[in-house]
Amino acid sequence: MPKQPPNKQTPRKSASQGDAATQQGIAQHDPNPSQNTAAGNNNDGSYERAVADRLAKRPARLGSPSVGNLVSNAGRTLTTNQGLQIPQDDDSLKLGLRGPTLLEDFHLREKITHFDHERIPERVVHARGAAAHGYFELTESLEDYTTADLFTRVNEKTPVFVRFSTVAGSRGSADLARDVRGFATKFYTRQGNFDLVGNNIPVFFIQDGIKFPDFVHSVKPEPHNEIPQAASAHDTFWDFVSLQPESMHMVLWTMSGRAIPRSFRTMEGFGVHTFRLINAKGEATLVKYHWKPVGGAHSLIWDEALKINGKDPDFHRRDLWESIEAGQYPEYELGVQLVPETDMLKLGFDLLDPTKLIPEELVPVRRIGRMVLDRNPDNFFAETEQVAFHPGHILPGMDFTNDPLLHARLFSYIDTQITRLGGPNFHELPINRPLCPVHNNQRDGFMRQTIVQGKESYQPNSVSGGCPFLAGDADAYRHFPAPAEDGAVKARIRSQTFADHFSQANLFWRSQSDVERQQIIAAYTFELSKVSDPAIRARVVGQIVHIAQELAEGVAQNLGIEVDPVGADIQINDYGIDASPALSLDAQPKGDITGRNIAVLVNDGVDDGAIASLQKLASAARANIRIVGPRASSVTTAGGASLPVDHALSSVGSVLFDAVYVPDGKAPPADPDPAALLFISESYKHCKAVGAGGSGAMLVAEAARRTGIDGGFAGPGLIVAKADNAKQHQAFLDAVGQHRWWQRPDAEKIPV
């Protein structure tokens, strides 16, 4: 158990407490400091201030500041929810020492009742998440396109709360499922809250929201046995998508590295839909939103993801939390693609179709601001779990398009928040409250907290002088008067402008590197190998052949089946683009190692200077050196110093780190620890930077020999030298900045 912090408050004296020396001894040596009844003090004057405020003609605050606000229990006395101080919390009230518990024990009933209701329904999708506070700062005004203050006040910092999530799994699932990642941002602006509720992939599985229940049901655990959890590798998902060609583009993305990101810090975000911006003249411009991570976009290898789920299922959550605690704040640039309203159908596809993206070669991304996440939540449930996003939370100068998936979301998000958070007043939860004034005639409902004075609750009224008044033109939100199509009639029908399901998937495939293509083929193979119905496997291959013959043939060969196209041949529109580098993770900028975790394998006798040099250079690059040793305490260096160990080798694996270095020291024993050899060879197989100096090079050579590579590892990104100095260390850190070194033919021979 973690130690309780020492109590800094002066104990209160009473006749029953004994002398000061005795009490001091209790405070210092009691193994259960919470039992020290002398330590707590709730008499801080807050009650008197609250009473004075309540008795005022116009109270500024209702109730104790310790209710409904940011609170610390440090130095305080235990109470019930009604404020009654409790002297004992270990035993229920009973009739005699061994008698029945009494119903009159109100403390027991309150405590148990609250516990029984602590869990609320988890989100149907995006249940597992992590979040952070931060700010958005506009660097370029969009005044020509919108009246939203958020996008016109340059250099103004707007508070934000961002929640990242997986989609399919439950709250208890692991972080490294192959899945879409949610990327939802709540901006607390001077004009109201704006929620940009997107994903880390710019397109979606379906075109119309009426199919959303079907899609989610298909990817969730199958209803007859609740298997599998947080996985798409099963019959019902692939059955659904094989019958929905509109899903083919998004499925291709999820079979790529985009569905197994290295971290939330190195993950792009997208608004998915096409929205509108409205300027002061009432003119509309179409917009798509992008988040670009400053540290670059990077992914994991599937073998790593599988192993990480076993070694640290909280890998992404932990990375986000620890990065912020270390001051290595995740940072993203906000970009927009702006398209004239008249060009809705002029790019070769329909901008209302959420299964399509706008290639950056056709419309460049214009970067207009940056977002920095610099504070972790104080309480996971109160903030990360209770935050309620809604794509309908927009600002003046913004509006929607007729995207049929977006329109369904505009209904669904409010509906699900009412069920999940107990009623219509979820906006009053602290994490959801706007920072600007809120005044309206909405009343009552479960868990209502705002107390509105006055007798009116309707509009128009005269009894309160018409308050709250209607907003003037300068501040009011106005819907864009988009005209309806001529002769439009009610119909359940899909526009033919949504009918091309394969051209953009083909562009994505053409934009991938050779390594990425092989990884996509392997992902399809893994997923479809877990599908029990041969007809479903064949149908998927028959669909993806319309994306690329090479893709279908690669998957079919691995599955041992033939390629039998589903439907007629498809005419591919290449948009006049050979490839789009923005769609390839391999083509993303490299070099920044901020927040990267580098394992340094040590043992007794490790060289003091090598450790100091590595730590100094890595700190300058804002990377983290993690000492991995044979035990969880420390090792003794060559100079006799005690070097603290961050992780015992037995408790971690190479997959939890971005690179590994073995410094100089004593020569390795004749029979080195197999776990250390596995750590090195696995890092090399996963194409990470591997470094060693002095005697450390001997351990790397032994790792290669044990894997059957007698001549030693020979691929790029291997930084080994006889010397173990700053020059060697800087070369190693430069190699870490490349993220992966794919051109290692010998790595394929390593059986790990």
**Catalytic center residues:** 126, 199
Alpha-carbon distance 48 to 746, whole Å? 75
Distances (CA, A) of 264 to 116, 232, 252, 373: 33, 21, 21, 11
Which amino acid is located at 14 in the chain?
S
- For residue 183, list its beta bridge partners: 164, 198
Here the tokens at position 127 are 């249940």
Rounded to an integer, what distance in angstroms lies between the CA atom of residue 152 and that of residue 78?
Answer: 49
The whole-angstrom separation of Cα 669 and Cα 449 is 68
Nearest to 703 by CA among 650, 660, 648, 745: 660
The span from the first CA to the last CA of the chain, in angstroms, equals 36
The answer to whether the bond into 228 is cis (omega within 30° of 0) is yes
Question: Could you give the CA distance from residue 379 to residue 432 in angstroms, rounded to a whole number?
Answer: 14
Residue type, 357: L
Separation of alpha carbons 370 and 367, rounded Å: 8
Q: Where are the alpha helices (DSSP H) in 621-673?
A: none
Q: How many CB atoms within 10 Å of residue 345?
A: 12
- Distance, in Å, from the CA atom of 112 to the CA atom of 110, rounded to the nearest integer, reads 6
Contacts with 398 (C-beta within 8 Å, 6 or more apart), sequence order: 146, 148, 194, 275, 276, 277, 278
Nearest to 279 by CA among 340, 192, 190: 340
**Can you tell me the distance from the alpha carbon of 541 to that of 552, in angstroms, rounded to the nearest whole number?**
6
DSSP 527-542: HHHT---HHHHHHHHH
